Amino acid sequence: MAKDSFPSQNDPAQAEPATSLSRRGLLKASGTLAAVAASTQMFPGMALAAGGPPEVKGAKLGFIALTDAAPLIVAKELGLFAKYGMPDVVVTKQASWGGTRDNLVLGSGGGGIDGAHLLTPMAYMLTQGSIGKATAMNILARLNINGQAISVDKEYLGAKADLNAGKMKAIIAAKKAAGKKITMAMTFPGGTHDLWIRYWLAAGGIDAVHILTPPHLHCAHALKALDAGLHVLVEKPLAMNLEEAQAMVHAAHDAGVFLRTAYRLHNDPATVRLTQLLREGAIGSARSCYASFTFQIGADNHRLKAAHWGGPLQDLGVYCVNAARHVFGTEPHEVMACAGNDASDARFGEVDADFSATLRFPGGRTAQFFCSFGIEALDLLVVQGTTGSIELRGAFVPFAARSLIVRRGTEEERFDFPAGDEFSSMVTYLSNCILNGQTPLVDATEGQAEMQVLLALEQAAKTRRPVTLDIQRAFTSLRPEMAQHFAPSERKLML
């Protein structure tokens, strides 16, 4: 089932991950396009007392004469409502989606209805009050797992209009140039069909997608997007294992598109400036670095699930590892690690609470880091060199002001950077690469190499023994032209 974009207190799909992010996959998906929703006035205690009978014997439920409503009608005809303690349920046809909305606001006590077969977004919009008087709704069941269709006029048949609406672009442009009106129809503003047709039209011009699902879904979603010819940004870590990562890299090569791990700090001005100072020899030769990234995580966070490859190493340690690799401009050849836990903390039944590690780099250089989901928040990076040190405060968290402090003996130089939106910086950088036909400076092999380090660290922690690495790739350092600053915004558009 496709996951809705808005939360619902009693939405059974809320815990389910989205099953596709590519335009092709999303439009092919069966879709969760209808629901049975009920006003909280109908079920004041949310209907079912624990282990007991329903709190009410009857309810007035509305439906629109579509196949989506079949479960309601079949349940009534087979006597299922009565079988489960609600013999007085009435299922009544509604004239329109607008009429259904108005009757839900009235409630059965006011001559309306208690619940209805709805276009899924309507339940959320009613609760928010964006399509009428605010009326608290609960989604009780998901209906309609049938395929959906968008009909087009016969004049578009020659363009072979299909899942890719972009094939209609030339015809639409010609009609607009001729001053002809273009009409797209849907059933209800903000309803499922409205969202589908808008997404379908917009997807005709999509060049890239950003995959933000948990790691166990990265490969499947990325392969669908790459198959559709889209450039792909994938959140860290790139995949669940090296086989998945390799499949993604090969798919991107075969499709002739870019695949990048979503390292937002690669386009962060403070981080790029740090690497530039190191390349310029601001503290002599960098010999050691230490990083710490910690915070208290909520008990319901998906990062605490072992099946999602959750844990502090994969979510926080990845930043520390990436920082160390770019401090030294090369790959580590040996790692040691130790995982910690607090048996009294129920949050950490599946994953570690803490993770600490040492990475050895060529030339006798070392990096150490500590990351945790269970202690007070701290994010810090310190690099020590032969003639000085650099400290980056606010090193890893997003939307934060950062400070670079360079110390040489008794001298201290400070560089302050205002809070920025590194996600916008990252997306803009990739967009410019796509528009200009330039390969991103840090490519998919960066994510592959980091996967090798993370897996080696995981093995080292389990075996309590050092693990050697032999990562063969040309290392690409961050460059000044990658840095971009965008002021943070409280408003985000998420599709």
Calculate mean pLDDT across residues 249-272: 95
- For 435-463, the pLDDT digits (tens) are 899 999 888 889 999 999 999 999 999 99
pTM score, whole prediction? 0.68
Residue 314 is classified by DSSP as I
pLDDT confidence bin for 494, thresholds 50/70/90: very low
Domain with CATH 3.30.360.10 in the chain: 264-482
Would you place residue 40 in the very low, low, confident or very high pLDDT band (cuts 50, 70, 90)? Answer: low
pLDDT value of position 42: 54
pLDDT band for 39, please (50, 70, 90 cuts).
Answer: low
If one compares 325 and 22, the residue with the highest pLDDT of the two is 325
Q: 17-21, 235-239, 380-384, 471-475: which has the minimum mean pLDDT?
A: 17-21
Q: CATH assignment of 23-143?
A: 3.40.190.10
Nearest to 478 by CA among 425, 406, 408: 425
pLDDT of residue 67: 82
Rounded Cα–Cα distance for residues 315 and 321 (Å): 11
- Bridge partners (DSSP) listed for residue 365: 361
Q: What is the identity of the amino acid at 492?
A: K
Q: How far is CA 204 from CA 191, 308, 366, 436, in A?
A: 21, 32, 49, 20
Average pLDDT score over residue span 432-436: 92
* Least confidently predicted of 147-151, 208-212, 218-222, 305-309: 147-151
Q: Measure the CA–CA gap between 76 and 363, rounded to whole angstroms.
A: 76
Angstrom distance (rounded) from CA 480 to CA 173: 40
Asked which of 132-136, 263-267, 268-272 is least confident by mean pLDDT, the reply is 132-136
Q: Does domain 264-482 have CATH number 3.20.20.80?
A: no
The confidence score (pLDDT) of residue 371 equals 98
Peptide bond into 237 cis (omega under 30): yes
Contacts (Cβ under 8 Å, ≥6 apart) of 174: none
Say whether pLDDT at 262 is over 90: yes
pLDDT at site 388: 98
Q: Which residue has the higher pLDDT, 142 or 232?
A: 232
Asked if 318 and 270 count as a contact pair (C-beta separation under 8 A), the reply is no
**C-alpha dist (Å) from residue 69 to 54, 102, 420:** 22, 19, 48
Per-residue pLDDT of 266-276, as tens digits, reads 999 999 999 99
CA quadruple 183, 186, 190, 192: dihedral, nearest 10: -140
Starting at the edge strand that comes first in sequence, how are the strands of the sheet with 208-211 ordered?
208-211, 231-234, 259-261
The predicted-structure confidence for 158-200, as pLDDT tens digits, reads as follows 787 777 787 888 888 888 899 988 888 887 887 777 887 887 8
Compute the average pLDDT of residues 71-80.
92
In the chain, which residues fall in CATH 3.40.190.10? 23-143
Angle between helix axes 218-227 and 242-255 (nearest 10 degrees) is 10
Three-class SS of residue 142?
strand
**Contacts (Cβ under 8 Å, ≥6 apart) of 12:** 139, 141, 142
SS3 139: strand
pLDDT at 23: 39
The chain-wide mean pLDDT, for the chain, equals 86
Assigned token pair, 283: 């503290």
